[in-house]
C-alpha cells in the first residue's frame, strides 16, 4: 500500500531561524532611544512567540501597558527598527540539510508563524531561497494567531494533506498548542527559545535535539 503524502509545518523564529539577537536588539534600540530599561536575551526568549504586539508590550514598563497610543507608537518604531535587522538572522545548524532531505522525499513544506506576514515572507524569500515552500503565512489581521489552529489547518488544506498526516514543528508552548488544536503530530525542538519542560507541558508528542531527528519520525513505519 502506498504511503500517504506527509507535510511538515514549521514555526519560523526559534525553529528554523536563529533570530533572537536581531529581535532583541531591534526592541532594545527603541528602548534606548527613550532612556527606558533594556532586556537581556533570556528575557526576550519569553517575550517572543505571541506576535509583535505582545513582544512590544512585554518589553515596555508596566506604566505603559494600558497606554494605547504609546503602544501603537512603539509598535511602529519596533517595525522600523526590525526592518533594518531581520536579514541578519541565520538558519540554525542542520536546518539546510533537513530541508534538502525533506524536499527530496517529496514531503510538503510550509511555515506558519506569528511574525507579521510581511516580515515572514521577506525572511523566507531571502534566507530560505533554496527550497520550494508550498505555503508560507505569518500574522495577518483577518486570521487568528497561533495557538488558534485556523492558519495551520488552512495550510494543511493548501498542501493537500490531512491534519493527521501533518507534523507541526515549533519551539514554544504556542506552537505545541497549535499542533494539538489542529490534530497534527506535534514536535518540539530543544534548540529554540523555550525550555523542553514548557514544550512537554504544552502537549509535545516528540522532542528533538537535532534537525535530522525529524527524519526518523517521518520515516517510521
Catalytic residues: 11
Assess contact for 201 and 43: CB atoms under 8 A: no
Assess contact for 82 and 13: CB atoms under 8 A: no
CA angle 27, 84, 44 (to 5 degrees): 25
Sign of the dihedral defined by the CA atoms of residues 8, 176, 183, 115, in that order: negative
Question: The cell 522525499 sits on which residue?
Answer: 105
| Residues β-bridged to residue 50 | none
Q: Between β-strands 17-18 and 90-91, what pairing exists: parallel, antiparallel or unpaired?
A: antiparallel
Cα separation, 158 vs 43, in Å, equals: 36
Q: 161 is written with which cell numbers?
A: 494533506
183 in helix, strand or coil?
coil
Amino acid at each position: 500500500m502506498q504511503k500517504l503524502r506527509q507535510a511538515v509545518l514549521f514555526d519560523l523564529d526559534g525553529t528554523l531561524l536563529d533570530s533572537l539577537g536581531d529581535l532583541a536588539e531591534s526592541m532594545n534600540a527603541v528602548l534606548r532611544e527613550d532612556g527606558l530599561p533594556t532586556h537581556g536575551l533570556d528575557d526576550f526568549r519569553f517575550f517572543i512567540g505571541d506576535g509583535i504586539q505582545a513582544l512590544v508590550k512585554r518589553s515596555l514598563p508596566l506604566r505603559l501597558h494600558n497606554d494605547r497610543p504609546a503602544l501603537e507608537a512603539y509598535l511602529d518604531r519596533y517595525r522600523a527598527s526590525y526592518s533594518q535587522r531581520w536579514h541578519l538572522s541565520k538558519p540554525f545548524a542542520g536546518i539546510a540539510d533537513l530541508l534538502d532531505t525533506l524536499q527530496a522525499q517529496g514531503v510538503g513544506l510550509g511555515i506558519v508563524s506569528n511574525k507579521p506576514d510581511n516580515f515572514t515572507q521577506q525572511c523566507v524569500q531571502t534566507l530560505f531561497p533554496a527550497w520550494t515552500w508550498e505555503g508560507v503565512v505569518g500574522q495577518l489581521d483577518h486570521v487568528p494567531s497561533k495557538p488558534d489552529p485556523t492558519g495551520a489547518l488552512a495550510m494543511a488544506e493548501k498542501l493537500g494533506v490531512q491534519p493527521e498526516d501533518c507534523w507541526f514543528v515549533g519551539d514554544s508552548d504556542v506552537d505545541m498548542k497549535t499542533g494539538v488544536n489542529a490534530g497534527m503530530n506535534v514536535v518540539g525542538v530543544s534548540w529554540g527559545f523555550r525550555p523542553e519542560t514548557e514544550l512537554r507541558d504544552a502537549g509535545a508528542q516528540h522532542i528533538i535535539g537535532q534537525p535530522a531527528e525529524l527524519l526518523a519520525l517521518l520515516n517510521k513505519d
